[in-house]
């Protein structure tokens, strides 16, 4: 199914998220402690400026509308919420740990979780949203997305 234009900004955010996940998977394994710290710092900036606003819009706008059609206990609603909480917990683990090995491990898990989550949302959640929501609801969702999600700069692509 073609992506509805009213969800395009969320998909564009997903592109940025996949770039960050790719950076993590490519850079982290061979990174020095200093390089790993810089990558972690980049992730925290991206988290605050891009992912948190994105998660909030998905929870408060998209899922809040979709739950009326699929129920609060649906796999789509539960899966999205659980994925968001898992990634938030990994960020907290990274923030709380001063141990570089623990931070590296959490960063690697975060990158993989982000990639898997984005691919699932694009193929399942957004398709379900487009299929179930009426056009007027998609219009309102699109307006909410436009108002709530700031323009995010792409994650730096500086791998060697």
Residues 6+ apart with CB under 8 A from 77: 63, 66, 67, 70, 71
pLDDT, average across residues 140-150:
90
User: Tell me, what's the pLDDT at 160?
Assistant: 36
Rounded Cα gap, residues 90 and 27, in angstroms: 18
Rounded Cα gap, residues 154 and 158, in angstroms: 11
Statement: residue 40 has pLDDT above 80: yes
Residues 6+ apart with CB under 8 A from 158: 23
Rounded Cα gap, residues 24 and 55, in angstroms: 20
- For 4, half-sphere exposure in the C-beta direction (CA atoms, 13 angstrom radius) is 20
pLDDT, average across residues 98-102:
92
| Average pLDDT of the residues of the chain | 92
Statement: residue 132 has pLDDT above 70: yes
Stated as kind and residue range, the H or E segment containing 83 is: helix 75-96
Rounded Cα gap, residues 124 and 136, in angstroms: 21
Name the CATH topology of 5-148.
1.20.120
Rounded Cα gap, residues 129 and 76, in angstroms: 10
Q: Is 57 exposed, middle or buried (0-12, 13-18, 19+ CB in 10 A)?
A: buried
The pTM for the full model equals 0.89
Nearest to 4 by CA among 145, 109, 120: 145
- Residue 110 and residue 62 in contact, taking contact as beta carbons nearer than 8 Å: no
For residue 61, the SS3 value is helix
At 101-120, the pLDDT tens digits run: 999 999 999 999 999 999 99
Q: Where are the domains of the chain?
A: 5-148
């Amino acid at each position: 199914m073609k992506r509805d234009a009213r969800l395009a900004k969320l998909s564009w955010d997903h592109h940025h998220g996949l770039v960050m996940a790719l950076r993590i998977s490519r850079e982290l394994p061979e990174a020095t402690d200093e390089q790993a710290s810089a990558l972690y710092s980049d992730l925290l900036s991206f988290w605050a400026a891009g992912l948190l606003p994105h998660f909030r819009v998905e929870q408060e706008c998209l899922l809040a509308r979709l739950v009326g059609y699929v129920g609060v206990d649906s796999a789509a609603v539960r899966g999205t919420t659980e994925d968001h909480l898992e990634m938030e917990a990994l960020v907290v683990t990274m923030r709380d740990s001063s141990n570089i090995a623990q931070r590296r491990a959490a960063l690697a898990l975060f990158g993989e979780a982000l990639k898997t989550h984005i691919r699932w949302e694009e193929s399942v959640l957004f398709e379900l949203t487009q299929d179930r929501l009426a056009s007027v609801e998609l219009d309102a969702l699109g307006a909410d997305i436009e108002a709530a999600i700031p323009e995010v700069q792409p994650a730096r692509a500086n791998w060697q």
